Amino acid sequence: MRVAGVLVVLAVLVSCAGPAAPVGAAVVTSAPAGVPETLLLPDEGRRSTVAEFTDWITDPALDRAWLLDPCLPTAYPTDGQRVRFRTVSREGPEAFDARQLGVYPTAEVAAEVLAGFRRVLDACRTGQQEGGARWTWVTADAPDLGDDGFLAASTFVAPEYASHGARIAVTRVGSAVFLAHAGGEYYTAEIDDGAQAVRDVAQRFLDSL
């Protein structure tokens, strides 16, 4: 009887535990966002110390476009899978600075976001708008900048107005994608001091985690 009782207890424990996973099978779990919702992005909430620039403002709109827009316009299928999205920005004379954070349901989706960035940069590396403005993008990997990090730089050249462009740094932490953007009067598309400056912003974000 004692043996029979032990067998009954074991049977109950096994049934509560559920079926065992096959030996060697991968256990798939959703990656944590890696970024607390309360975390402030670099410069978020700061007041301007110079009259030429606005204060930093926060826009939590989930459907706001990424500022990496080489195809004018650029569509990213992963936008519909965002869990959270935030844009922090300021404006000044011929300048627009911003930080963007997108959080996705898994690290795999976030990695696809960066893969999509790279694909559109390859597809639209050069082009021309209807008004005649020509654009050029260049990129450089930044393997020490989080996961999948890279830098991008652009310039738009047109006869009727001054050349302008953007410097962008992108990185990923788990299921979160961070982008630092600086727009202004850039006359060439190159990984220069401006690109280093946005890279430093991205590093500040990583260091804050």
pLDDT in tens, 36-46: 999 999 999 99
Q: pLDDT tens across 70-85, in order? A: 999 999 999 999 999 9
Picking from 104, 57, 48, 99, the residue whose alpha carbon sits closest to that of residue 76 is 104
What is the structure's pLDDT at 34?
Answer: 67
* pTM of the full structure: 0.83
The rounded distance, in Å, linking the Cα atoms of 92 and 55 is 10
The rounded distance, in Å, linking the Cα atoms of 110 and 174 is 7
The rounded distance, in Å, linking the Cα atoms of 33 and 174 is 6
Q: Cβ of 1: how many Cβ atoms within 10 Å?
A: 5
The rounded distance, in Å, linking the Cα atoms of 151 and 110 is 17
Q: pLDDT tens across 129-140, in order? A: 888 889 999 999
The DSSP bridge partners found for residue 98 are: 89, 181
Instruction: Please state the domain extents for the chain.
Output: 31-207
Contact 83, 105 (CB under 8 A): yes
Q: pLDDT tens across 121-177, in order? A: 999 999 998 888 899 999 999 999 999 999 999 999 988 778 999 999 999 999 999
Residue 91: band (very low, low, confident or very high) from pLDDT cuts 50, 70, 90: very high
Q: Cβ of 144: how many Cβ atoms within 10 Å?
A: 8
The rounded distance, in Å, linking the Cα atoms of 190 and 138 is 6
Percent share of the chain, pLDDT over 70: 84
User: Would you say residue 181 has pLDDT above 60?
Assistant: yes
The rounded distance, in Å, linking the Cα atoms of 42 and 204 is 7
DSSP 83: S
What is the structure's pLDDT at 33?
Answer: 44
Picking from 189, 192, 163, 170, the residue whose alpha carbon sits closest to that of residue 66 is 170
**Quick one: 31-207 is in which CATH superfamily?**
PknH-like extracellular domain (3.40.1000.70)
User: Would you say residue 31 has pLDDT above 60?
Assistant: no
List Cα–Cα distances, 63 to 1, 77, 132, in angstroms.
66, 12, 30
